[in-house]
Amino acid sequence: MRVNILVQCLATLILPTGLYAFKRIDKLKKGILVYGASFGLTILSVIVTGILFVNKDGQTNLVIALYSLGLTAMSFFVPIYYMRNWSIEFNKKIGKENITSSQAVQS
- pTM for the model stands at 0.80
Is it the case that residue 105 has pLDDT exceeding 70? no
Which residue ranges make up each domain of the chain? 5-95
Q: Once rounded to an integer, what is the mean pLDDT over residues 76-90?
A: 94
Helices 58-106 and 15-24: crossing angle in degrees, nearest 10, is: 30
Instruction: Give the percent of the chain with pLDDT over 90.
Output: 51
Q: Note the pLDDT tens digit of each residue in 33-73.
A: 999 999 999 998 888 888 777 767 767 777 888 888 888 89
Q: Which of 9, 41, 40, 36 is nearest to 22 (CA)?
A: 9
Answer whether 2's CB lies under 8 Å from 91's CB. Answer: yes
Exposed (0-12), middle (13-18) or buried (19+): which is 96, by Cβ within 10 Å? exposed
Q: Specify the pLDDT at position 103.
A: 66
Answer whether 13's CB lies under 8 Å from 76's CB. Answer: yes
